[in-house]
Structure 1
């Protein structure tokens, strides 16, 4: 590939990212004004290019003074980046968002720096709930004893009131004489016993799933230690219900790698999985395919029927995707009405066609939303490894070009070839 062709590919990839990423990206000039902003900037913050004037060059700042702004510009002029940090930014409608912000000094032509914003409002809300839960938890620990069990020769010989409540019993009689370990859910009993022995030596907590007498599953933090009780060496077990904390952590982890509307993987997670799949396909000399899909005339539906209908259509579309691909296939919402599908572990082109045919047929079925029958179709662009590229960027780019060709007819699918 000569330099001009390589430059064209790189420009196409950059344009694809600029237009389709879920993150707000904008360029800053040497005078501090915004020179350009991508579609997600307007989608997240509501501001458009015409809103940025000399008098009002950063209307979305909530508390930055002109002096602080100048200091920031000075850092960029010195070639210094500003790494990720959480801050506040104001939407055009006045709503204040939590934003994960970062800036990269460029100092090239008219561009001084590039900024990137990610809407972190939901993640921070969960984080605040987690912090509030932890603060409440600390107060409880200070004023109310933990669940305490004393076990001797495999049987519980003492339990306090919080312990009775934790296991879902009515009284201590329901618990005494049993083994505390019978409540622990584990796939590897030997490994669990090894962790308990280690915890007894270090007093370090372990976290396991715990099944109460009523069948409810909770997450429990367990500390086991050897003590003397009534003149004998016994095991004392302290348990704390950390289900809320565990759930919040799982929600934060899920949001980091998934699209919040459809539940599909986001672009970041999809790219990581795609790189791993390409490496494995290369080692085992297998094929894989990338489907780039969008919903025909989605913008018209969204504009005419409203965003609530549009969002529900996207959710139903994602559900339809899940139902008509294979279990091992990976789905991603790129942004808007654009989706990616990674078809892995295939031996021949027919395997790809089987999946594409199922999807193409499924997309003909009308959607039913709020009593309305919505008939829309979808277009699909397809690229294959290794014939159409050896890396994630080129495969996605070529699938996008094939999609562009398919959209000329709509309700159509096209395999990429070098002539597109």
Structure 2
């Protein structure tokens, strides 16, 4: 009894599916007429089977000729299915729908094929809106002065013309498929990426160096953000070349701490550095020395008066060069102003190092200067104060090196270490 009832159960299930599925299902005979259709067929297309009983060419076809319909029937007769594809179909009321269609060849003597339609209009409208949005996006970004890269799964999938130029490429083919981060110059790329992702919510720019394909190094301002591109969640990276701005800022910073004529540091920077050096020397139990140097003022003034200020400036530059050549890399040089200079001899274990450097400088200053075919001989005096014996802060050390300079100038063309007894 149970065996005989099985076909009835299957028929009932098929009937439930036929009547309740959201997809339009219909059967086609060998003449191309629709034999039957489920309720959703009428719901989607508005046509009933009785409307089509005398028609062997579907009236809901759009841009599909009777000849093409016959070719389609021939495919079914040969047992070929037609898999899912998106096409157009016209409702009875004239409205054009986007339809996801498929056909299955049956060839059972009565039914040639079964067709299935799904109303795909909403999905296609979404896709068209996305495409329109992306088309507008592509058009817009070409007018933006910033370089724009869209990266998906570590690869650049879109770059505007400004981005191509920024990278130094001839066309986008040299950029697509690469990672935008491979152009960033950083010691720790993983940390940099973390920094970028943290800044994505705030849209705060990050300044970093960028290595172009042609080897040129530039500075870029980077802003990254999440967006949807071609239906996928991606990262959009905006880069702006800020090399000129960065260089200008560095120039301003340089001028704030350096003498524009000699390139030596100025008094402001020197004071900051000597305070830091004192802290380090205290921790490491080392000594340091401050040298106050003065070019013979009368001789220097006569050079300016007789040969001109340009020669005087050249003399100061050459004097600064001799300073650099005869001290160590860790020492700091400062032009106080006019013909006065300060030198910080840093991080020494014994006073002998100071004596050696001072003696070397004194010898170098005795050599004549050759400027515009003029052989110029000037004398220089130096006063030295040593930390910690002569003072434990910058103000005292500079003051006492100045006192020692005054004592050296009395002897002329000499150097003098600060001695408390001589000041009493």
TM-score by length of 1: 0.64
CA–CA separation in structure 2 for the residues paired with 1:171 and 1:231 = 25
CA–CA separation in structure 2 for the residues paired with 1:367 and 1:345 = 31
CA–CA separation in structure 2 for the residues paired with 1:285 and 1:353 = 19
Per the alignment, residue 245 of structure 1 pairs with: 245
Per the alignment, residue 228 of structure 2 pairs with: 228
Report the Cα offset of residue 159 of structure 1: 0.8
CA–CA separation in structure 1 for the residues paired with 2:357 and 2:386 = 14
Per the alignment, residue 93 of structure 2 pairs with: none
Deviations 1:26-61 (A, max 9, x none): xxxxxxxxxxxxxxxxxxxxxxxxxxxxxxxxxxxx
CA–CA separation in structure 2 for the residues paired with 1:281 and 1:159 = 54
CA–CA separation in structure 1 for the residues paired with 2:175 and 2:282 = 57
Per the alignment, residue 291 of structure 1 pairs with: 291
Per the alignment, residue 314 of structure 2 pairs with: 312
Local SS of the residue matching 1:390: coil
Per the alignment, residue 370 of structure 1 pairs with: 372
CA–CA separation in structure 1 for the residues paired with 2:268 and 2:351 = 27
Per the alignment, residue 151 of structure 1 pairs with: 151
Per the alignment, residue 184 of structure 2 pairs with: 184
Q: Decide whether aligned partners of structure 1 residues 395 and 165 sit closer, same or farther in structure 2, where only a CA change above 3 A counts.
A: same
The structure with the larger Rg is 2
Report how many residues are paired.
Answer: 280
Per the alignment, residue 266 of structure 2 pairs with: 266
Report the Cα offset of residue 217 of structure 1: 0.9
Aligned counterpart in structure 1 of residue 399 of structure 2, from 397, 400, 412:
397
Q: How does 1:330-341 map to 2 (within 5 A)?
A: 330-341=332-343
CA–CA separation in structure 2 for the residues paired with 1:270 and 1:258 = 9
Report the Cα offset of residue 143 of structure 1: 6.0
Aligned counterpart in structure 2 of residue 355 of structure 1, from 348, 354, 357:
357
Report the Cα offset of residue 142 of structure 1: 12
The 8 Å contact of residues 333 and 342 in structure 2, kept in 1 or not, is answered as yes
CA–CA separation in structure 2 for the residues paired with 1:398 and 1:202 = 52
Q: 1:281 aligned to 2:245?
A: no
Report the Cα offset of residue 318 of structure 1: 1.0
Q: Could you tell which deviates more after superposition, 332-341 or 222-231? A: 222-231
Report which structure shows greater RCO (CA 8 Å, sep ≥6). 1
Local SS of the residue matching 2:345: strand
Local SS of the residue matching 1:408: helix
Per the alignment, residue 119 of structure 2 pairs with: none
Report the Cα offset of residue 368 of structure 1: 2.0
CA–CA separation in structure 1 for the residues paired with 2:373 and 2:211 = 43
Ranges in structure 1 where 5+ consecutive residues have no aligned partner = 1-140
Report the Cα offset of residue 199 of structure 1: 2.1
CA–CA separation in structure 1 for the residues paired with 2:305 and 2:142 = 55
Segments of 4+ moved more than 6 angstroms: none
Per the alignment, residue 163 of structure 1 pairs with: 163
TM-score by length of 2: 0.63
Per the alignment, residue 215 of structure 1 pairs with: 215
Local SS of the residue matching 1:222: strand
Deviations 1:185-237 (A, max 9, x none): 00122221111111223222111000111111111111111211111111111
Deviations 1:168-189 (A, max 9, x none): 1111112112111111000122
Per the alignment, residue 116 of structure 1 pairs with: none
The 8 Å contact of residues 381 and 414 in structure 2, kept in 1 or not, is answered as yes
Q: How does 1:77-226 map to 2 (within 5 A)?
A: 144-226=144-226
Deviations 1:150-169 (A, max 9, x none): 11221111111111111111
Local SS of the residue matching 1:262: coil
